Structure 1
Amino acid sequence: MDTPDPGRTAQLELMIGARLRTRRRQLGLSQSDLAQRLGVSFQQVQKYERGANRVAASTLLTAAQALSTSISWLVGEEVSGRDDDDDVFRALSRPGALEILQAFNAIPDPRTRMALLALAREMAGGAAA
């Protein structure tokens, strides 16, 4: 019988947490809103989103229903299979990231979007180029 890899398990918890947070924020729900739907405290939702606590299977099912998604999506099975998907969801789970993406997508002029991208890259010290 194989023993679970603690590093892989921790990565899974981080990925699930990032996806929970991203989907919650897409729907405009607060941590308290989601906590109420899950029957847990908002502190528990914070721990799930940070990957500090494991999400029980029954809670994962309830979360998928509350967030109008599937368990498969929350655990990363309904994606293209690329290794960098987890990085994308972790980046989107940062405070303000989803809002900046929504604002960027709302800019109708492509030149203005590119100017904003250039500004962001400059502010990041060229790291995002």
Structure 2
Amino acid sequence: MPHKVDVHVGQKIRQRRWLTGMTQQRLAELVGIKFQQIQKYETGANRVSASRLWDIADALDVNVSFFFDGIKTEEEEARAHAETVPADLLGDKEAMDLIRSYYSIPEDQRRRLFELARVLSDVA
């Protein structure tokens, strides 16, 4: 059974790759491996070595720490299940489509949209 950190790192690789519109094949080419290995990393089936994670971060234009953002302790995970936001929000295709669309909006308009969403969520 994969370790939860390996699964989390794999999900973050997939999330970033998907948000940038990059295919598994393209990422694999940039890193110098086969796309099947990217698939295994993204599912957590294979662990990503430190040097490989460094190369992936470079190819996806993020810091290595990005892949560890959001890892929760068991206590934090228990609290997260009690919240109204689904725990696997990043696994939800509709949510990911919304995020991708959001970041394609020019920054000044995006900021106004964000403020509107914040106001609407406070009202609800």
TM-score (norm 2): 0.63
> SS of the counterpart of 1:15?
helix
Match of residue 92 from structure 1: 90
What amino acid is the match of 1:98? M
Find the aligned partners of 1:25 and 1:64 in 2 and give their Cα distance.
14
Query: Alpha carbons of 1:23 and 1:44: their partners in 2 closer, same or farther (altered >3 Å)?
Result: same
What's the counterpart of residue 37 of structure 1?
30
Task: Check the 8 A contact 1:19/1:74 in 2, yes or no.
Answer: yes
The answer (yes or no) to whether the contact 2:12–2:67 under 8 Å persists in 1 is yes
2:35 and 2:89 map into 1 onto residues whose CA distance is 22
Structure 1 CA distance for aligned equivalents of residues 55 and 18 of structure 2: 17
Distance 2:22 2:40 in 1: 16
The percentage of aligned residue pairs carrying the same residue is: 30
Instruction: Summarize the Cα distance change of 1:66–1:104 in structure 2 as closer, same or farther, 3 Å threshold.
Output: closer
Structure 2 unaligned residues grouped into runs of 5+ = 106-112
Q: Structure 1 45/95 Cα, relative in aligned 2: closer, same or farther at 3 Å?
A: farther
Deviations 1:85-114 (A, max 9, x none): 9x97953145454114445787x7x79xx8
After superposition, the CA RMSD in angstroms is 3.3
Given the superposition, is the C-alpha separation of residues 103 and 62 from structure 1 closer, same or farther in structure 2, using an over 3 Å criterion?
closer
Q: TM-score, normalised by structure 1?
A: 0.61
- CA shift in 2, pair 1:81/1:52, >3 Å: closer
The residue matched to 2:3 in structure 1 has which SS? Answer: helix
How many residues align? The count is 100
* Correspondence list, 1:1-129, <5 A: 10-76=3-69, 83=76, 90-103=88-101
> Does the 8 A contact of 1:16 with 1:74 survive in 2?
yes
In structure 1, the residue matched to 2:110 is none
